[in-house]
Amino acid sequence: MTKLLTILLLYACTLPAHAALDAAQVRQLAADDSTEKVAAIRQLTQTADPDAVRVLKAMAADSLFLAGDQAVIIDGDQAFDAASGVAVKMPGAPESITVNNRIRGELAGALAALKLFDAEREVRLASARELQSKVSPEMAPLLAKALEKESDPEITALLTLAHAQASLGHADPAVRLAAVKALAETTSPAIKSVLLPLTDKAREADDKVRYEAIAAIKAIDGRLALAENLGRVFSGLSLGSILLLGALGLAITYGVMGIINMAHGELLMVGAYSAYAMQSVFRAWLPDYIDWYLPAAIPVAFFAAALVGVVMERTVIRWLYGRTLETLLATWGLSLVLIQSARMLFGAQNVEVANPSWMSGGIELMPNLILPWNRIIIVGFALFVLLLVWLLMNKTRLGMFVRAVTQNRAMAGCVGVPTARIDTMAFALGAGIAGLGGVALSQISNVGPDMGQGYIVDSFMVVVVGGVGQLAGAVWAALGLGIFSKLLEGWAGAVIAKISILVAIIIFIQKRPQGIFALKGRFVDN
């Protein structure tokens, strides 16, 4: 037993002793002057000591008191010496330490910095991200110490940027120059604002540092502009996907029957309200599966919009073939009927259609470029619908009949194609595709009775520019219109962009009235 105790004693002697915090330094946290408190907080932070975390957390929680010349932490009915953490007798009348907003902000930054030494990677990563906007020159030694210990590449990159920001206030111009060069590789608006003061001769006396800061800001501006333009292109793709879903149906109905359907935008609205209805059903009856309301809404929206389309075609449009002006006025009246019906069923106000959790968030490509998952999925969904429509039109008997009626209605009727039935089925198909577009639109826009009005004109422009009845033309026209609209909006504003697009389309139609892809057939050629 004696031998065992001797071995344990010798082992204990070989362990490194953990020194307590400097009592005078901890006592300074109770100073009357806020500047002295700030200095004490920064000094404790530089130690990177776990005990410093304990003391600063207690101060932030208003649990740090002054008992005579001793700083103590009071936790319930127990008291501990702040410097050593040893339990002490509960003081009779402890004096509270004033913590104002300035001190709280300093404490928050200090605690975030000290988390850089936490054992958990996620804690260190969160701390490194938080420090990107709270770096001060005084943190440079602490960040250098954290860099030496850090092995994770992602955290190391963030710490390198933070250390470079902290080094901008260093007295040595060479250190500041190296920091500017390191920050020049970023694509962050926050870093640009940090470098801007260094371009002023009154703030930065060294010419090399100043010129390097100017060059760094130009490089950052270039990357920011690139990211903004890429973001606009992606927004244009998502807008083009919505227009494509709307225009596919128009390309079919306008190509087959020559009908200018002014109520086509309201078929988008029917699809969007179908998504809202399915969301309500899942919330009421299947709350555990609420994230799957959107897949369930897809067939509901298609058949609901298709049914509305069949009713429109059978009751009104069928009797107006060949009378373009009357059809335009009649379908405009139908659009008003559908809008008022939506107001009566769902109310005049917009309704909320939430994104499922699997459509939330996005992919961060750059600090100012995040691709939202809802728009990525909408683009993929539009391409999937396009593939299905292409297969239907080119690989099925129905598609063959639709193409035949589109190219030469009279000849198709002569060879036995039931043109009246094809009209109804084509109109139902076009309406159903518009309903799918409404489901997609519900994930990025407000859902209300008037939502379809803003897309009908753009959808018609896609059909006219792409070529009547041409799927390839509709694709190119929709994506081109969406991308150019967003690019022009970023440069000239929404109104000028819309006017410019309309002027460009008018000029294009004057030069090529048949669209991008002309419809081929004996009837057309003659």
Digit-coded pLDDT (tens) for 202-257: 888 899 999 999 999 999 999 888 888 898 899 899 989 988 988 888 888 877 77
Instruction: Please report whether residue 176 resides in a domain.
Output: no
Instruction: Please report whether residue 180 resides in a domain.
Output: no
For the segment 280-300, the average pLDDT, to the nearest whole number, is 94
* 109 plus 241 within the same structural domain: no
Give backbone dihedrals phi and psi of 32, rounded to 5 degrees, phi first: -75, -30
Query: What is the model's pLDDT at position 468?
Result: 64
Which of these, 31, 28, 83, 76, lies nearest to 54 by C-alpha position? 83
User: CB-hemisphere CA count at 13 Å for 222?
Assistant: 8
Which of these, 225, 250, 253, lies nearest to 459 by C-alpha position? 250
Which of these, 144, 143, 106, 145, lies nearest to 127 by C-alpha position? 143
Sign for the pseudo-dihedral over CA of 264, 267, 269, 275: negative
DSSP at 97: P
Query: What type of residue is 67?
Result: A
How far is it, in rounded angstroms, from Cα 210 to Cα 265? 56
Boundary (domain end) residue, out of 460, 492, 508: 460
Query: What is the model's pLDDT at position 37?
Result: 87
Q: Is residue 335's pLDDT more than 50?
A: yes
For the chain, what is the radius of gyration of the CA atoms?
A: 34
Query: What is the model's pLDDT at position 337?
Result: 94
How far is it, in rounded angstroms, from Cα 326 to Cα 62? 78
How far is it, in rounded angstroms, from Cα 117 to Cα 432? 58
How far is it, in rounded angstroms, from Cα 264 to Cα 181? 56
CA angle 495, 499, 503 (to 5 degrees): 170
Query: What is the model's pLDDT at position 518?
Result: 60
Q: What is the pLDDT of residues 457-490, one digit of tens each?
A: 888 888 888 876 667 788 888 888 888 888 888 7
How far is it, in rounded angstroms, from Cα 368 to Cα 228? 7
* 249 plus 112 within the same structural domain: no
Which of these, 429, 443, 442, lies nearest to 385 by C-alpha position? 429
Residue 515 falls in which region: left (phi positive, over 0), alpha (psi -120 to 50) or beta: left
How far is it, in rounded angstroms, from Cα 452 to Cα 266? 5
DSSP at 184: T
Instruction: Please report whether residue 508 resides in a domain.
Output: no
- Number of domains making up the chain: 2
Mean pLDDT, all residues of the chain: 85
* 276 plus 424 within the same structural domain: yes
* Residue 373 domain boundaries: 236-460
For the segment 139-164, the average pLDDT, to the nearest whole number, is 87
* 108 plus 250 within the same structural domain: no
* 279 plus 416 within the same structural domain: yes
Boundary (domain end) residue, out of 443, 460, 477: 460
Q: What is the pLDDT of residues 350-392, one digit of tens each?
A: 999 999 999 988 998 877 788 999 999 999 999 999 999 999 9
Q: Is residue 3's pLDDT more than 50?
A: no
Instruction: Please report whether residue 484 resides in a domain.
Output: no
- What are the angstrom distances between the C-alpha of 394 and each of 256, 346, 414, 471? 15, 39, 21, 11
How far is it, in rounded angstroms, from Cα 195 to Cα 186? 12
pTM for this prediction: 0.74
Q: Is residue 96's pLDDT more than 80?
A: yes
Boundary (domain end) residue, out of 460, 488, 503: 460
CB-CB contact of 256 with 406 (8 Å): yes
